[in-house]
Homo-oligomer: A and B are copies of this chain.
Amino acid sequence: MKEIAMNRKKSIHMSNREFRKYGHAVIDWIADYYDNVEQYSVKSQAKPGDIKTSLEKNPPESGEPMHNILEDIDSLIMPGITHWQSPKFFGYFPTNTSGPSILADLISSGLGVNGMLWETSPACTELETHVLDWLATMLNFPDHFMSQNEGGGVIQDTASSASLCAMIAAREKKNNGNSNLFGCREHLTAYVSSQTHASIEKAAMVAGVGSKNVKLIDVNIDFSMNIPSLKKQIIKDAKDGYIPFFVCATIGTTSSNAIDSVYEIGKICDEYKLWMHVDAAMAGTATLCPEYQYMHKGLEYADSYTFNPHKWMLTNFDCSCLFIKNRDELISALRIMPEYLNNQSSKSGEVIDYRDWQIPLGRRFRSLKLWTVIRYYGIEGLQNYVRHHINIAQQFLSWVKSDERFEIMAPAPLNLICFRAKGSDKLNKDLLNYINNSGEIYITHTRLNDLFTLRLCVGQTHTDVNHVKEAWGLIKSGFEKNKG
């Protein structure tokens, strides 16, 4: 027996025994990481090239043991990590994660299914449809976004991709599928506010619409889209021979969390037969709470809606949800059917093939983590989570407001506070660099009313009031050190 065993070639693959051993070690490594994450410099202090030059120049001829690789992650990779999962990370918009989500996503990795078609793993498709119906209920959407009606939801990687898909569906709806067949020859025009996320401009570039055909509409004093300007521009463009087709309303702009009036924009879209897409990438999560559902007023006019559970709903990247009022409009714009993907289930019309709802063909089993998060936390848990962050962000707001050295730069309805030290842009830039180079917290900036503005967004899973207090202390002391 021994001889036989010795004669068998050693497998090149990790044995199941090894997988258990290193798997447990990696789980513990992550738990230790979360135990200690506050001790790291939030922003990596690496300089350009530091990490690359520390790596082995050439790929190894022979395989290496797993423990070497894990050691190198500690010594070579960790110095180049900016700790998005530190409770003292306040930059950009958050990218959430949570224990239940990580574990469910791990199961997806283990199952390794490709859910491109219903047939290639029915559970991957049906769970996704079901969980997105759950979400539609939880966010108090109009019924038409549900799969039992003409709509439905799909998980995409990011809001950029989701918005691109919406724009393509809108493009084809407006020109009866002609761009798909003959190219984008019509002079289509899209509308965003000056505060809308740049991904819409990028979508117009990708989709052959052109960035010059994305009209930037002025904003009101609260940075929401100015409705009369929108209407005026649409009328002017139509008169000038352009073909208005798409408006993006934003719930929670990236710069300042400004909230466009979906209702007012929706009425205009209805009147002029334009596709209304709603980008609620981060702030959409707040509508889990009834007190924030006012932001959804007018959603019955929306043709599509996107928000990212990977931003502020405890689901690890990537998980962006796109809801569509009439799924046929999306599917007909993105569908291709080569013979090698043909199958009885697809032909039956009884099933959803999500590859027709997105740009990529292949797809990961992402609904598993979303389902797990919703079940683990429950609606109440998720509501408490959102309220907790908004509450401590509002505390921070009150501290800044009551300090005459600082000024608030925009309304702060949710978890993002835009502020600056009274003084020059240079002072604020210096202050930003001082704060981030300290490694104690991480914040980022924007420009509002042409002034360099600091942004503090509360959204990391474990951020609590003490972390925001620490941030405020550092900002104040940084001001004193940099005011010159």
Identify the closest chain B residue to A205 (Cβ): B180
A415 interface residue (CB < 8 Å to B): no
Bound CA–CA A138/B61 (angstroms): 10
* Complex interface: stretch among A97-105, A232-240, A266-274, A465-473: A97-105
User: Which B residues are CB-close (under 8 A) to A187?
Assistant: 183
CB within 8 Å for A85 and B103 given contacts A63-B375, A362-B158, A380-B62: no
What residues of B have a CB within 8 angstroms of the CB of A168 in the complex? 205-206
Chain B residues with Cβ under 8 A from A334's Cβ? Answer: 202, 205-206
Does A12 contact B384, Cβ atoms closer than 8 Å?
yes
Are the C-beta atoms of A137 and B52 separated by less than 8 Å?
Answer: no
Q: Are A82 and B122 in contact (CB under 8 A)?
A: yes
A196 shortest CB reach to chain B, Å: 10
4 pairs of A and B residues whose beta carbons are closest in the complex:
A208-B208, A80-B123, A184-B208, A14-B99
User: With A44-B121, A62-B380, A378-B64 as given contacts, are A361 and B27 in contact (CB-CB < 8 Å)?
Assistant: no
| Extra pairs beyond A14-B98, A22-B99, A23-B31 (14, CB < 8 Å) | A12-B381, A19-B31, A23-B106, A48-B122, A58-B137, A59-B134, A62-B378, A82-B120, A105-B109, A106-B109, A112-B317, A207-B207, A254-B340, A339-B447
Chief secondary structure at chain A's binding surface: helix
> Which one of A209-217, A404-412, A476-484 contacts B?
A209-217
Count chain B CB atoms within 10 A of each CB in A52, A122, A345 and give the residue with the most.
A122
Does residue A260 face the partner (Cβ distance < 8 Å to B)? no
- Asked if A79 is at the interface (CB within 8 A of a chain B CB), the reply is yes
User: What's the least CB distance linking A378 to chain B, in Å?
Assistant: 4
Which residue, of A91, A255, A350, A362, has the highest number of chain B Cβ atoms within 10 A?
A362
Docked CA distance A164–B168 (Å):
14
